Structure 1
């Protein structure tokens, strides 16, 4: 029996996933969470074999949660199930320790298959992600979106600033000093060749990184 945790801020999505997974005799949902902070608590308090994690959630986002969970529970496979297409996040999150990445547009059977694969300690690479990785391997770095060059922490800071948080709020959320967040902000602006937080927001919206 593979014990699965579901993290998504929409109750109807969690209910649908729970119902679907219950139809598989080898899969059992043992816990749910609605945001990144609850995801961390779920991983801490529940025996899990796989964690299904959404990216876009209020407060402690899925990107933050992935970093926190992998730092504390290195061997727990985290399978990203996101409303964003693979081209926007898959490569970065796989580099940051995700065991696999699926779009919510995928066939439901692919979710069950992916859970079984990552529960065995392997990575699940969908056809869409495989094509994306293949293209990135043969394409010049210059062809990649600028945000794919960001480090894990830079990506966290970037997304929070793009959503309108101040440097102080980001510092509190990520348990960093204001000076450290300001340094990350400067790096992000340099890498993306931007000059202000409003430009960060426009870039993120244009790239479909925030809604």
Structure 2
């Protein structure tokens, strides 16, 4: 039996969605208004959480990263009245596996739940397009370098030359902490896991033999 926790503070929606989902004999649904949600998740240990973003006592988008921190394997379907154009990408980045607007027919929810449980992600097409475009930007060295400030490029160059954080800080009249901040910013912009991977962006090409 697959346990689903439905978090929405509208009783009518909870009732209707619970009845619809439990037509699937593999699903058992518990409903909640969202109070003490983390404690409830620890107690219920569901395979899927259906989460509204607008709750009386909490904000779903604020809760989502904390939920994923405590339950990284939990599938989360955001089910909300909030517009996808503003919120879908944000929920994806916060750890959600899917996003459905409440304006869609209720019978659209159960197939999406099944897809999420099978390991798929379900978001509006434009959301995934944004993700692909962002990945393409990160994979293009020239575009990525253009996103770095002049000072960040200077720091990157000095570090590529083998200088320490302290030496770079002295050359640029900055503190060690500031150099570390610049490095963190560049890693965040590029998405690399090791700073040294950025050196290839500014390494001059070898002359032709």
TM-score, normalization: structure 2?
0.59
Match of 2:37 among 31, 36, 39: 39
Greater relative contact order: 1 or 2 (C-alpha under 8 angstroms, separation 6 or more)?
Answer: 1
CA positional deviation for 1:26: 2.2
Is this contact kept in 1: 2:2–2:47, CA < 8 A?
yes
**1:10 counterpart = 2:10:** yes
Work out the CA distance in 2 between the residues paired with 1:52 and 1:71: 17
Work out the CA distance in 2 between the residues paired with 1:23 and 1:53: 20
**1:134 counterpart = 2:133:** no
Is this contact kept in 1: 2:20–2:107, CA < 8 A?
no
CA positional deviation for 1:133: 3.1
CA positional deviation for 1:124: 1.8
Could you say which residue in structure 2 is the equivalent of 1:169? none
Label 1:60 to 1:135 Cα distance change in 2 as closer, same or farther (>3 A). closer
Could you say which residue in structure 2 is the equivalent of 1:109? 107
Q: Which has the larger radius of gyration?
A: 2
User: 2:49 aligns to what SS in structure 1?
Assistant: strand
CA positional deviation for 1:80: 0.3
Cα-Cα RMSD: 2.0
Runs (5+) with no aligned partner, structure 1: 142-211
Work out the CA distance in 2 between the residues paired with 1:102 and 1:124: 8
User: 1:105 aligns to what SS in structure 2?
Assistant: coil
Q: How many pairs were matched up?
A: 135
Q: Which runs of 4+ in 1 moved over 6 A?
A: none
Label 1:87 to 1:46 Cα distance change in 2 as closer, same or farther (>3 A). same
CA positional deviation for 1:136: 6.7
TM-score, normalization: structure 1?
0.59
CA positional deviation for 1:138: 5.0
